[in-house]
Amino acid sequence: MILFINACVRGQSRTKRLAEVLLEGRREEVTEICLERCAFPRVDEEFLCRRDRLVSEGKLDDPMFDLTNAFARADEIVIAAPYWDLSFPAALKQYLELVNVVGITFRYRSDGVPEGLCRAKKLTYVTTAGGPVVPEEFGYGYVKALCLGYYGIPEVCLVQAAGLDIEGADAEEILQREIRRLREEKA
């Protein structure tokens, strides 16, 4: 199962269009989680206490962990997230806060080093940016660090189209160039 985490907000999202090209023709089942439609709980003290209690009691199939278990069990993961304020929409951070659960997506070895528990071998991060560059550190780089340092997902790739909002830029042509590249790569 490919887990498609859709963090796009706009109806005409160009990031989502790129992700759809990446996913087209795949024979595996694709399960989409549209973060815009998720009512995320507030991760407050009460939430954390309940979560810790469920984990310590081994109740990892509690509905509280549905998103976490889906992430941990996916064979491959695709995230689509527009580049917002040097990072990504807040809903993706809310989602990742729910997914990071000791005992489901990772555990600590006795020497304190995190060890990944996720099945996926590959995560692709799809993004588009208004400006000319997508620096790694706060968006894609952050997700990549989680994959490599916690989840145990060894292959992390970036698909991007940048410069879409620059005055005079032909956004559709930039997008089509990346779409052609993706289709050629798959052929």
Ligand X SMILES: Cc1cc2nc3c(=O)[nH]c(=O)nc-3n(C[C@H](O)[C@H](O)[C@H](O)COP(=O)(O)O)c2cc1C
The residues that touch ligand X, with contacts defined as CB under 6 A, are: 8, 10, 13-16, 82-86, 128-131, 164-165
Q: Which is nearer to ligand X, 9 or 70 (CB)?
A: 9
Q: Which is nearer to ligand X, 16 or 51 (CB)?
A: 16
Query: Pairing between strand 114-116 and 30-34?
Result: unpaired
Report in angstroms how near the CB of residue 13 gets to ligand X at its nearest.
3
Report in angstroms how near the CB of residue 187 gets to ligand X at its nearest.
25
For 53, phi then psi, to 5°, come to -65, -45
Rounded Cα gap, residues 176 and 45, in angstroms? 46
Report in angstroms how near the CB of residue 162 gets to ligand X at its nearest.
7
For 120, phi then psi, to 5°, come to -60, 140
Q: Which is nearer to ligand X, 10 or 180 (CB)?
A: 10
Q: Which is nearer to ligand X, 13 or 105 (CB)?
A: 13
Q: In what order do the strands lie in the sheet containing 76-80? A: 30-34, 2-6, 76-80, 122-128, 155-161
**Which ranges of 57-129 does DSSP label H, i.e. alpha helix?**
66-73, 90-99
Report in angstroms how near the CB of residue 82 gets to ligand X at its nearest.
3
